[in-house]
């Protein structure tokens, strides 16, 4: 059984969003076409309270891009994004959300960020995604979405670590690239840790 995980296909990561990822919108139509080829469709949703500790605006004199210590972990500060119930946190309007079987929200605890769809960044709390996939008999997990160098990467690494055959659909991901090569390095790291890097044309003829 194969699952497709759509990582954070939300307005704030697409064109005009608060944490806009270049080319983010190009992924939506690929995701729409791919969904029919899988047994189970999962979406993750970055879902922060307005006072979340990853927002630069919630710290004195801090700007996006700076790194602080948040509860003992290194934390990159971001612009305010994906605030619960806001337009920015909604899925991109042309995403065919009726095909999504289950949504896993993350980043809800103000004291800790959560890039992976499986665990928070301190790996203390599980979202329940791993157990959910196992209960559904899923062995193969395919991942696409935003952003390659953060949420996609950590979701893929955790999927592999949880024992799933893990595939990254590379042409259906885009990165933040604070440093020019971040996405390239993220893909290399996933590959080195056993994630298979594939292209959507494997499914779409």
Chain contacts with ligand VGL (rule: CB under 6 A): 8, 13, 46, 78, 115, 146-147, 150-151
User: Both ends of the chain: CA-CA distance in Å?
Assistant: 21
Least CB distance from residue 137 to Zn ion, whole Å?
31
Q: Give the catalytic positions in this structure.
A: 8, 106, 151
Helix (H, G, I), strand (E, B) or coil at 53: coil
CA 41 to chain centre: 14
Q: Is 46 in the site for Zn ion (CB under 5 A)?
A: yes
Nearest residue (CB) to ligand VGL, 144 versus 146: 146
Q: Among residues 189, 186, 188, which one has the least CA distance to residue 176? A: 186
Cβ(3)–Cβ(38) below 8 Å? yes
- What is the size of the binding site for Zn ion (CB under 5 A)? 2
Residue 6 or 39 with smaller CB distance to ligand VGL: 6
55 binds, among Zn ion, ligand VGL, none (CB under 5 to 8 A by kind): none
Q: Which is nearer to Zn ion, 42 or 107 (CB)?
A: 107
Three-class DSSP category at 26? helix
Sign of dihedral through CA atoms 22, 173, 48, 177? negative
Closest by Cα among 52, 27, 65 to 176? 65
Binding mask 150-189 for Zn ion (x = CB under 5 A): ----------------------------------------
Work out how close the CB of 168 gets to ligand VGL at its nearest, in angstroms, rounded to a whole number: 14
| CB 139 to ligand VGL: min, Å | 25
Tell me how many degrees the CA angle 152-135-200 measures, rounded to the nearest 5. Answer: 35
Q: Is 149 in the site for Zn ion (CB under 5 A)?
A: no
Binds 146: which of Zn ion, ligand VGL, none (CB < 5-8 Å by kind): ligand VGL
Residue 169 per-residue DSSP state: E
CA dihedral 28, 33, 39, 40 (to 10 degrees): 10
Q: Could you say whether residue 8 binds Zn ion (CB under 5 A)?
A: no
Query: Residue 146 Cβ, how far from ligand VGL at the closest point, in Å?
Result: 5
Question: Which residues are at the interface with Zn ion (CB under 5 A)?
Answer: 46, 107
């Amino acid at each position: 059984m194969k699952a497709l995980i759509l990582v954070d296909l939300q307005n704030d990561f697409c064109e005009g969003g608060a944490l806009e990822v270049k080319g983010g919108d190009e992924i939506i139509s690929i995701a729409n076409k791919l969904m029919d080829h899988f047994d189970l469709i999962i979406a993750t949703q970055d879902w922060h309270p307005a006072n979340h500790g990853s927002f630069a605006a919630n710290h004195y004199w801090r700007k996006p891009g700076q790194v602080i210590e948040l509860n003992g972990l290194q934390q990159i500060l971001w612009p305010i994004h994906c605030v619960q119930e806001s337009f920015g946190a909604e899925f991109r309007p042309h995403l065919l959300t009726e095909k999504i079987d289950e949504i896993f929200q993350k980043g809800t605890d103000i004291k800790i960020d959560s890039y992976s769809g499986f665990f928070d960044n301190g790996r203390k709390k599980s979202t329940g995604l791993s157990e959910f996939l196992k209960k559904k008999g899923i062995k193969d997990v395919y991942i696409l979405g935003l952003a390659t160098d953060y949420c996609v990467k950590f979701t893929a690494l955790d999927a592999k670590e949880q024992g799933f055959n893990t595939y990254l659909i590379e042409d259906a991901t885009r990165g933040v690239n604070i440093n020019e090569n971040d996405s390239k390095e993220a893909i290399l790291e996933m590959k080195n840790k056993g994630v298979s890097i594939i292209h959507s044309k494997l499914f779409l003829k």
